[in-house]
Chain A
Amino acid sequence: MRSSANKVSNLMEHQKWFLDPKWIIIGLIVSFLLIFQVFPLLYLVFRAFFSTGKFSLEAFKRVYTYPLNWEALTNTLITASLSMVFGVLIAFPLAWLVGRTNLYGKKFFRTLFVATYMVPPYVGAMAWMRLLNPNVGTLNVFLQKIFNLSSAPFDIYTIGGLVWVLTGFYYPYAFITISRAMEKMDPSLEEASRISGANPLTTLRTITLPMMLPSIVAAALLVFVAAASSYGIPSIIGLPGQIHTVTTRIIDFVYIGSQEGLTDATTLAVFLMVIANIVLYISTFTIGKKQYITVSGKSTRPNIVDLGKWRIPITAVVVIFALIVVIIPFISVALSSITVNLGEPLSKANMTFRYWERIVTRKSILSSARNSLVSAVLAATFGMIISGMMAYLLVRTKVKGRKIPDFMITVGSGTPSVVIALSLIMTMSGKFKINIYNTLTIMVIAYMIKYMMMGMRTVVSALTQISPSLEEASQISGASWLKSLKNVTLPLIAPALVAGWFLIFMPCFYELTMSTLLYSANTKTLGYELFTYQTYHNQQTASALATAILVVVFFINWLLNKLTDGEFSI
């Protein structure tokens, strides 16, 4: 609650006169962000303004007066907003069903619904392209046959199609964030509503939903930023239909390969950064003082909502949803990994495992996998440490400027990957005394900059749910700030931490754009491999690799679920 947060924070302000480990840690983190994120990005933006050597708005004028760019801007805003709205609209009820009701197969669905997050978006986009293209899309043809339609019912190369695929791939952000928050909620708050005469749906709408608002807003923010700054999906789904987005335009500029191209790309990227932060600002502004504690000092019994006679129909709806959004595209990906000729139906003659063979026999794949694992684990772990600390700073203290790290982290996420990578190349290869170019470190840093917000937002929304009195009780028991954090705060937000970790880990694990710019002979990653296959004119191998990643991640998740009783899994 705000007031309690204030209470804590008041004293934080005065504690800073002591040499408190808190301030040392926070200081370290802030300087890290300053050096490795703010400085490179600022440098890039600075270059945009000083493209001719002295200050000029030339680049801005050039970029922002070009009509195609404007169209791209509107497309980005439209698709990102719609994906955000639909993503949350899908994720919230799913999270509720999975987290708070006696839906059949909850645990299974919980894992299934995040599955789209485990495949690289461009692989998934290819799947949708094959399913729903207006000429020969498999699903289109199928529907045409069944309903005897004269033309294809869907065209994926439209704004609608783009939103569909973006939503399908980014709703898991929302799902993970919201379901984590939901599971922690004090059920007696909902019970109080039931007893007041509200049915489960009304309760959901008037109590659960508003109380989940911080999480929902966080979720919406994640989906929006992810959709707005994604490149893979718009380039595959949007470009064929001449639907440009800011990211595809930026890539256009970047790949021109000239200094001017870089300047234009940065100039356009500034838009995304600004937009991401406007969204952040609006979201913190709208929820403003509304930080609802749903984990209080009095424990209540965990309780689930009985769906009653709706249990079967609702489960059926969920199954259909899963089928359409998750299963079908996955099957499509998995099948294409064993199809020789994608133009022919899968038959014995047209089936092969040589793409699988290729990925398992290829020399570099193991070392790439190891590199990806290491860098993704590092990025996720450091990312969560930083997010955790910064979230604490933001939620529990009233330090002046505590919003700045949040702002910086959001800028990072709003920046297209390619711009981040380029800014790091320009600033971290010795020109300014730091040379980490061609190391794994630079990749880890790039990943962190791009994906840290996923962790940050998740933790922030989780932290607002925890009653400060629980931390106070720890302090009064003689625990220092760090110990209270470790013993009380962290375990209580553990599910969110795990979720956040996973949200960072997964995209880093198969990250493509930055990796292809930043890898070196010793630091090839899976993203690089995927990229090779993709441009190797061979979708099948990319599909095989994606399927393999999915299977492995699913297995690990299942294992963790078993071993930790659901505590450390998604």
Chain B
Amino acid sequence: GGASEVKATNDSGLSGKVMIYTSMYDDVIEAIDNTLEEVFPTVDIEFFYGGTGTLQAKIAAEISAGKLGCDMLMVADPSYALELKGQGVLEPIMVKDTGKLAFEYDKEGYWYPVRISNMVLAYNAGKYNKADLPNSFYDFANDKSVAGMISMSNPLTSGTALDTISALKDKYGYEYYTALGNQKVKIESGSVALTKLETGECKEIMILEESVLQKRELDNSKITVIYPTDGTIVVPSPIMSINDKWSANKNIEAAKAITEWFLSEEGQKNIVKAWMHSVRSDYPEPPYDAIPTAEIRKNTIPVDWANTVALREEMRTKFQEAIAAKK
């Protein structure tokens, strides 16, 4: 399979350093890093972990300084990839079996999806009944019984949250923001929201599936995912390589090999271990406690990536005003 192919590439004399900025959890990276060391013993691969916002800020600052500190990126969503592509910092890489990719990718090779995050709803099964709670994004914003006790991430700082409000706007219009505002939704980071769910301060939250899954597996948490009846919002996260003009180590060969590896079955196995879904159609295994990827894909709310970039400011502003107005 793919793994042996990669090994072959490796034997063809890769070397040097590769620095990868990623928003994947440190623990996950540690595992992946160990595997990579075996796969590419001659390449010195380093990860820099940061939240999406932190990384984007760091990258922006580095671009303004004239040089990036990395060679590859595994962060944010396709809209961010589109943006970077536009700024001319990415290197096109043609990978071999793109046919196996179940998700959209850049045909010129500037970015490929490498992991799938799903925006879902979650509640505390130890405290509430699923039946008593909203089961759709729509109800989440309109069911008064949870008013004041719901929470979501900040679209200003989180890429996936922005994608979510973009998708929901396309589906329900800007009224959806007003509805959220009326519900007195709390805007906070995922970790805080999860804690609130545990303590019962919140009844239901809008959150990435992987956060819940991880908590369930590691902490035996009773927090449970609700796949919204009006569709899950699926956010593929891209893998990108930086071109020689901007990259830290000018190691395109290695970057290419690493990209191949991540997209391979072997690489995807590691992604799934990190509670995210695989991008390959031939690797259907879902993460711990999740429903199969295909199941999810049956009912999704699509995100228009180009539009998300284009209307970013407008959506953020509208969202903020809607939320702030109903303090």
Contacts and interface: CB of A to CB of B under 8 A. Distances in A.
Complex: A in contact with B (CB within 8 Å): yes
Interface of A: 47, 68, 71, 126, 129-130, 133, 135-137, 157, 235-236, 239-242, 244, 251-259, 261-262, 340-344, 363, 418, 422, 425-427, 429-431, 437-438, 516-517, 519-521, 531-532, 534-539
B198 interface: yes
Given A431-B66, A516-B51, A521-B48, A258 B83 contact: yes
B156 A236 contact: no
A537 B201 contact: no
Contacts of A520: 48, 69
B214 interface: yes
Interface in B198-252: 198-202, 211, 214-215, 218-222
A344 B219 CA distance: 13
A133 B202 CA distance: 11
B67 A429 contact: yes
Q: Which 8 pairs across A and B sit closest by C-beta, in order of nearness?
A: A257-B56, A255-B53, A255-B157, A240-B186, A343-B198, A425-B61, A252-B156, A422-B61
Contacts of A255: 51-54, 56-57, 156-158
Contacts of B211: 537
A418 B57 contact: yes
Given A239-B154, A341-B221, A342-B195, A422 B57 contact: yes
A342 B198 CA distance: 6
A535 B190 contact: yes
B65 interface: yes
B191 A537 contact: yes
A251 B189 CA distance: 13
B220 to A, nearest CB: 7
11 contacts: A135-B202, A239-B154, A240-B187, A258-B60, A259-B60, A425-B58, A429-B69, A532-B25, A532-B26, A536-B26, A537-B191
Interface stretch (B90-98, B102-110, B319-327): B319-327
Interface string B28-63: 001000000000000000111111111111111111
Contact of B320 (A68, A262, A427): A68
Given A240-B187, A430-B67, A536-B26, A252 B154 contact: yes
Nearest to A363: B30
Contacts of A532: 25-26, 49
Contact of A242 (B64, B124, B323): B323
A425 B62 contact: yes
Contacts of B194: 537
Contacts of B189: 235, 534-535
B288 interface: no
A262 B64 contact: yes
A532 B197 CA distance: 20
A256 B156 contact: yes
A154 to B, nearest CB: 14
A38 to B, nearest CB: 18
A447 B324 CA distance: 34
A254 B57 contact: yes
B282 interface: no
A535 B126 contact: no
Most A Cβ at <10 Å: residue of B27, B61, B76: B61
**SS of B interface (majority):** helix
B149 interface: yes
Given A257-B59, A259-B60, A341-B126, A539 B327 contact: no
Contacts of B220: 340
B7 interface: no
Contacts of B149: 135
B196 to A, nearest CB: 8
Given A242-B323, A257-B60, A430-B67, A340 B219 contact: yes
Contacts of A258: 56, 60, 83
B182 interface: no
A415 to B, nearest CB: 15
A254 B53 contact: yes
B80 interface: yes
Contacts of B192: 126, 129, 236, 240, 539
B75 to A, nearest CB: 9
Nearest to A428: B65
B117 interface: no
Contacts of A538: 191, 215, 218-219
B191 A534 contact: yes
A569 B136 CA distance: 57
A36 to B, nearest CB: 15
A343 B196 CA distance: 8
Given A136-B199, A242-B324, A340-B220, A429 B187 contact: no
Given A135-B201, A255-B57, 5 more contacts: A252-B156, A521-B46, A535-B51, A537-B190, A538-B218
A262 B61 contact: yes
B324 A135 contact: no
B10 interface: no
A531 B54 CA distance: 11
B126 A343 contact: yes
Nearest to B55: A257
A300 B63 CA distance: 62
Contacts of A422: 57-58, 60-61
B297 interface: no
Contacts of B56: 255-258
Nearest to B27: A536
Most B Cβ at <10 Å: residue of A244, A422, A535, A539: A535
B194 to A, nearest CB: 5
Nearest to B200: A136
A535 B191 contact: yes
A108 to B, nearest CB: 32
Given A135-B149, A259-B60, A536-B27, A342 B199 contact: yes
Most B Cβ at <10 Å: residue of A68, A126, A135, A253: A135
B53 A136 contact: no
A516 B56 CA distance: 12
Contact of B65 (A137, A257, A431): A431
Contacts of A251: 53, 157
A22 B60 CA distance: 42
B61 to A, nearest CB: 4
Contacts of A438: 69
B200 A343 contact: yes
